[in-house]
Chain A
Amino acid sequence: MNPARLLLLAPILFAGPLAAQDARLEARLAPETAREVRLLLDSARHAALPTEPLVQKALEGQSKNAPPPRIVGAVRLLLGALRDARLALGDDSPEPELIAGANALRAGAPPATLSALRRQRGRELTVPLSVLTDLVARGVGAAAASRAVSTMVGDGLADRDFLLLRTQVEQDIRTGVAPGSALDHRLSGLPAAAPPRQP
């Protein structure tokens, strides 16, 4: 099995049974909050969207003592991102890819980028989209990260190339290179470190 495909399956591995999701909500959320979140989960199921990320978002809010309206709002936002990801990636998009797409959208990637990626690449985009999200979290601008992933997908690069790029950018950032420059230099194959001025 291609190791990269394990990445695609990861969200499924952590997706518990539906009944368990509801039980988690009932046990930890206030009744009214749980009811509102359940409604959102029903909407997600009706649209054949994954519900586990929504449950996790609600639980995160509860654990961080967020007020109920904020928890419901965050779940609603995530549901919207999943819907947008579905629209951009198509009805046949598998669940891991949808989740990765929603994460990328929340990170700031334009929906048009996801649509373009789908047109460019027939197979799953979970790894490229996860790398896009990771790059943004590391400080790379969303637009630059989106452009980079689009370019690489357009070049027909494999999942391992995306993972390699992400590792290299991480390495450069640790040596003090600005995230955007690290990505830019790695893409162009040039050394990332700005040469120190010699006196």
Chain B
Amino acid sequence: MRRAFRLALGALLAAAPVTAQGRFLLDLSGGSTQHQFAEPGTTFSLAPRFLWRSSAARLDVGLTYTRGASYRWNAEGGLDGAVAQKLGGGFSAEVAASGWWTAHPVGQGTGQVTLMPALRMSRRSVDLAVEAGQGYASTVTAGRWFGLLGARGRWFLGPVDVEGQVQRTQFTQRTLRWSSVWVPVAPGIDTLIGSTADTLDALREYSDLGLTVGWTVARTRISLGVQQRVGLREFRATAWHVEATRVLGSETALFASAGRTLSALTAGLPARRYMAMGLRWAPGGHHAGARAEPEADGRSLRILRDGGGQTARILLKVPRAASVEVMGDFSNWEPLALSESGAGWWLLPMPLAPGLYRFNVRYDGGRWDTPPGLPSEDDEFNGRVGVLLIVP
């Protein structure tokens, strides 16, 4: 297999929430991917997608159009009901039941349609595929799927999160293959030289094991993951990915990712390698009436534990300021000057007990503003006020 991966540059438009629980994703990306059985090439894709999720159900409908070395469109839809049991320490387990269908014609002049209703942890499902190879051959595949069982757990250790997942797939696939071969004998005239039909019954079983470690600090997140497919030799494979995301503002983030995916056997898609860079844009990422303040001009806020963890001190980073003041319900709404502690950091002189506080900040005697990096709400006086929850 050739080892060709190319740097991909892309733009990703994503995540405009349309309801409190649903979001519309519009992905615009470009770059290059090397598939196992295809020539690499520069591709461009446009992918609107709608996701809706509650604590017990999931709806995922998407459409992808890709154009490049080959073109492909892909439509997907799914229903996923989940029962989540929250355990101690932020761990959760999931048992899911899902229904799924997908359709994706592939390549110039060729087409493939796959209908794959599947029921996880269930008795049966049906896989039906119709494939036409450049108009000269067709394949019909039908099968029954007996089990798709997955579990996922996630642990949070401060800025580090670790996610493990396992999915076991066991199925019987009955394949009916009918092919016809046509040979051109004259311009515009093809002749059928033969056709074949056969059936195949086979038991297939494999498991995918995955482990991802993420590290989030301030506005940067880096994650590394590895996935191993075990089972019959023909299924054994390893995948990996690495991704870095840097939040630029409340609506934008820069990301870079690379990796190798496992083949999607149930969808008939081969493994691939990729490398990508892009921009994520989340327009309207916050609901009207409340907004999270983006950090700007290098300004940020930190909570410093004090008094054996029983109290906290507020630290504000405000580069190039000559004075910083706050006023809030901890100061009877009277201005309180912060003391400079070096490197642009300013310290609130009084410790705060755990609780919910509201306060504003101003720099160099300017207008009162919301503190950087804190959520804010309407103050009922034609302005906004920062909300700070100090936890024990």
Contacts and interface: CB of A to CB of B under 8 A. Distances in A.
A136 B377 contact: yes
B381 to A, nearest CB: 4
B329 A197 contact: no
Most chain A beta carbons < 10 A, residue from B43, B251, B375, B376: B375
A6 B333 contact: no
A91 B375 CA distance: 32
B152 interface: yes
Contacts, number: 234
Contact of B392 (A7, A100, A179, A188): A7
B383 interface: yes
Nearest to A7: B354
Contact of B33 (A66, A166, A191, A198): A198
Contacts of B44: 199
Contact of B30 (A108, A166, A167, A199): A199
Interface stretch (B12-20, B108-116, B226-234): B12-20
A174 interface: yes
Contacts of A130: 355-356, 389
Interface in A177-199: 177-181, 184-185, 187-191, 193-194, 196-199
Contact of B286 (A11, A143, A179, A185): A179
B55 A176 contact: no
Contacts of B327: 63
Interface string A168-180: 1001011111111
A138 B389 CA distance: 11
Interface in A143-164: 143-144, 148, 151-152, 155, 157, 161, 163-164
Contacts of B138: none
Most chain A beta carbons < 10 A, residue from B14, B286, B381: B381
Interface string A90-106: 00000000001001000
Contact of A175 (B21, B253, B356): B253
14 contacts: A10-B356, A13-B353, A14-B330, A64-B383, A174-B247, A175-B216, A176-B247, A176-B251, A176-B253, A181-B17, A189-B153, A190-B53, A194-B25, A199-B276
Interface of A: 3-7, 9-11, 13-14, 24, 56-57, 59-64, 66, 70-71, 73-74, 77, 100, 103, 107-108, 130-131, 133-134, 136-141, 143-144, 148, 151-152, 155, 157, 161, 163-164, 166-168, 171, 173-181, 184-185, 187-191, 193-194, 196-199
